[in-house]
Chain A
Amino acid sequence: MITTGLYIHYPFCVRKCSYCDFYSVPFHRESSEAYLQALMQELSLTAETRRGVIKSIYLGGGTPSLIEPAFIESLLAGIQHSFEVGPECEITIEMNPGTSDPDRLKSYKRAGINRVSLGVQSLHNEELQILGRVHSRDQVLQAVEWINQAGFENYGLDLIYGIPGQTMTKWLATLQGAADLKPRHLSCYLLQMENTVPLEAALAEGRWKRPDEEEEADMYYAMLSFLHTHNYQHYEISNFCSPGFSCVHNLNYWEGGSYIGLGAGAVSFWEGQRYENTPEISAYIENLSRGAGPPYQVLESLDGTALAADAMIMGLRMTRGINITHLSRRLGLDVMELFHQSISIGLEEGLLELNGPWLRLTQRGYFLSNRVFIQMLDVL
């Protein structure tokens, strides 16, 4: 039986962040409850058609830490009941500082959650304000303390750089503050926004200036060396961990594994097809309440070559790269031959390197990786 990841989407938020284009709506008790009911319904419907061993569960959003522990408990029980759950299954909940308390965290732990991903973003209050976050620096420190108190050994922090007004000094201070909290995992993202988000409009008005390309690249490479000296492994373009604590759930995406997405707007990847549930909460609830599956659309169907291009684009995001031999065997085609030209260009440009069967991005290649990926699309 195949192994799979399970993603569960909870679209409610206390407030929308100024850089966010995810589908989310303001928290509302009744609709949240109706939504969670529908989620349970979708879970049992899905289990009828998709069989697999679950190796990771990820509760994302939105702000899933708004969900009552009692529900988490029945949700995880429901999953146990419907699917075979692997022994070491990683079960993550996303959390925003200021949306939880020690009791709730302890209850989550008891319910079976074994990993917390905390949306810190910055340790400077003025930057948090620009990003439209509801929390402060102090609330971050407190949240981490409570996470520790609750007994979570494995937790990660999300950080953002390239924030309008941010300087290298401020970025390094945030990194230092984050390292001091000793998380097992760090995701550090360059701020990249859709044109439609409020922060872009504010930038267009000239209220703040964002760091330029040079500064952003400098921040990225400063981060690589900072985290290296603090014993974090760089394992994906934007992800770092203590040895042995890479995120199982996300690795599955980059390795091209199958995944099931539950909830409004959630995406599944199953037998070469990507599906997306309707992002409309009301339509989602309405369909499931009468026993039907949620409306969905097929985003793409991938055949051999397209699967290979996907595997390259996703796989090269990992610093260890791709094992060409293994990938060729898995896809039943000669990856080296198929991507010969694209790989040669990447090698020649110094953005890729080849070490035995392992093809990977170079240091310079990480922040110029689109250039490499675009080449990979040439085979389509």
Chain B
Amino acid sequence: MDNIRNFCIIAHIDHGKSTLADRLMEYTGALTQREMREQFLDTLDLERERGITIKLTPVRLEYTSIAGEKYIFNLIDTPGHVDFSYEVSRSLAACDGALLVVDASQGIEAQTLANVYQAMDLDLEIIGVLNKIDLPNAEPERVMEEIEDILGIDPDEVILVSAKLGQGIQDVLEAAAAKIPPPRGEAEGPLKALIFDSYFDSYRGAISYIRVFDGQVKKGDIIQMMSTGREFEVSEVGVFAPRMKGVSVLKAGEVGYLAAGLKNVLDTRVGDTITLAGNPAGQPLSGYRRIKPVVYCGLYPVENSEFEKLRDALEKLRLNDASLQFEPETSEALGFGFRCGFLGLLHMEIINQRLEREYDLELIVTAPSVVYKIILENGEVRDVDNPAHWPSAGETREVQEPYVQATIMVPDEFIGSIMELCQEKRGTFKNMEYLSLHRVMLMYELPLSEIIYDFFDALKSRTKGYASFDYEIIGYLPSDLVKLDIMLNGEPVDALSFIVHKEKSYARARLITEKLRKIIPRQLYEVAIQASIGSRIIARESVKARRKDVLAKCYGGDITRKKKLLEKQKEGKKRMKQIGRVEVPKETFITVLNMDDSK
């Protein structure tokens, strides 16, 4: 146990976390050059494409120090996006130390801070790593100062690295060996193992990624999940070397995986503690909570007949992603579909893309919604995550919506435009602090509904990409909200309704009806688009009737080509959704919330 080091890498997005992990693997020989491909730990195609980490992937490295001592390093990569902050916190809990990677040209960013504070709360030993020192615009002195001032880390202890060029990698490994404490735990005590991730393998069932704190676990043991009390027989334990490799036993201090013929990842909940049924631990490890989705939307197949296929696909995705929630719902406009809950917008986008790509589904996504709390006249409190279930004004005593505390870091020249943006988004200013001479940290309280859609994009574009942003949900506050309905040819389209602050309702209604006019193609008859609150129409537009849809010229020589044009037109028509007598493109439903007028 003395020579085991369990640590993770924490960093703001794009600061080079995955590249550093690659170099550490390469240096320790965990991967041969031939096996190396960029960002080995990011296994999903989407992760590689977007350069972000979604799923956690642990890896075991064997390192012999300069002094000749042999070590086992368990390195746990963490997701870098705020949607997955619970997963970050669980992977931190599996570690005894953390490498804090900061980009030498960017400095400390919002997510760096959020993650570091979490690591400090868990008493992890933090090793500062200044990455990208090879960049021409690197400012190591300035960034070191920030690290010292804000995080209290001694600049002399910070390691200078270029993960890209492979500089400073040995220093990082030496520091990990020397400074990160070995795991403490009772090797002889009752088993306590933390599940920090899980994934579904079609042959072995749900696999838990675990850190053993006390005791040991081996094949054949009967284990118990402490949050549910359910028991399973262990069929396999192993380590990540870096691919999964079976071992006879996992002991206190070790990181590895455990398979127990679990049919469902819901049986292996991230944050839960595993113990032995025959010799259970008294108390579980701290910190487990059920994760609740914060954003909901409707997912509907374009072809109604694909409903069952969508259900199968969602069930399969949930096997790998316990945070995904869904239940069937019906829309008058869209037919049968699912109401799905996500950790955030990125999570929602990823699931949607995986459904379309991996399961070949054509989907309609309705505008995302947060969960509102509605206090009815009779005192009943109702959670509403779907505008279709919004009670009428007469029934409602008070409406509350979730708020977040947002941390935004920017060069001070952008303070004005950030404040303006937060104002537009109904934010309340809380605090401002200088991080260094020209960098500030702004704290705002904002409604979650205002930041889930395009806030981050707006932030980036108003600050030339310099702003970083993180948030945490702080609770519910009363708000003056109304439901806006959209009608096509006088028929309300339930899937287009959304919730908006009363003061913004007129502007929104105008913007949306105008957008719909642009996105809805001309039809055989004129289409009237109206927006209403209750029975009051507050905006209207119309799409003129189609008058030209013709191939003027068609002769012997080009019949084949002209038919191909018609085929193509037919395919386009198929991607439309028929609502009453109106055909609308499937993107229509998500467009409603996209308030960036340039799109």
Chain A residues within CB distance 8 Å of chain B: 5, 7, 9, 189-190, 192, 213-214, 216-217, 220, 237-238, 250, 252-253, 259, 261, 265-267, 269, 274, 276, 299-300, 310, 313-314, 317, 349, 366-371, 373-374, 377-378
Contact = CB atoms under 8 A, between A and B. Distances in A.
Contact of A367 (B547, B559, B573): B547
Contacts of A237: 550, 552
Contact of B522 (A190, A213, A238): A213
B221 to A, nearest CB: 61
Nearest to B522: A213
B464 interface: no
B34 interface: no
B547 A192 contact: no
Interface stretch (B13-21, B354-362, B375-383, B564-572): B564-572
Interface string B569-594: 11001000000000000000000000
A313 B563 contact: yes
Nearest to B553: A189
14 contacts: A5-B556, A192-B551, A192-B552, A213-B522, A216-B547, A267-B558, A274-B560, A313-B563, A317-B554, A368-B546, A368-B550, A370-B551, A371-B549, A377-B567
B91 to A, nearest CB: 51
A373 B566 contact: yes
A250 B556 CA distance: 8
A370 B547 contact: no
Nearest to B554: A317
User: What's the dominant secondary structure at chain B's contact region?
Assistant: loop
B50 interface: no
Contact of B552 (A5, A238, A250, A300): A238
A23 to B, nearest CB: 10
A269 B560 CA distance: 11
B551 A266 contact: no
B553 A192 contact: yes
A368 B554 CA distance: 15
Given A371-B524, A374-B570, A366 B550 contact: yes
Contacts of B559: 253, 267, 269, 274, 310, 314
B203 interface: no
Contacts of B566: 313, 370, 373-374, 377
Contact of B570 (A214, A250, A310, A377): A377
Nearest to B556: A253
B560 A370 contact: no
A374 B549 CA distance: 11
Most buried by A among B547, B552, B566: B552
Contacts of B551: 192, 369-370
B446 to A, nearest CB: 42
Given A238-B553, A310-B559, A314-B554, A368 B548 contact: yes
A9 B524 CA distance: 39
B136 interface: no
A189 B322 CA distance: 60
Nearest to A370: B549
Nearest to A274: B560
Contacts of A9: 557
A154 to B, nearest CB: 19
A217 B567 CA distance: 23
A252 B557 CA distance: 12
List the 9 closest pairs (A to B, CB-CB), nearest first.
A217-B547, A190-B552, A253-B556, A370-B549, A299-B560, A267-B557, A189-B552, A374-B570, A368-B549
B550 A367 contact: yes
Contacts of B550: 190, 237, 366-370
Given A368-B547, A370-B569, A377-B567, A267 B553 contact: no
Nearest to B563: A313
A190 B554 CA distance: 12
Nearest to B555: A253
A213 B569 contact: no
Contacts of A261: 556-557
A67 B546 CA distance: 44
Given A237-B552, A310-B559, 12 more contacts: A190-B550, A190-B552, A192-B551, A213-B546, A259-B556, A269-B559, A313-B566, A314-B559, A349-B524, A367-B550, A368-B546, A378-B570
Interface string B312-342: 0000000000000000000000000000000
A220 B551 CA distance: 13
Given A7-B556, A238-B553, A259-B556, A368 B567 contact: no
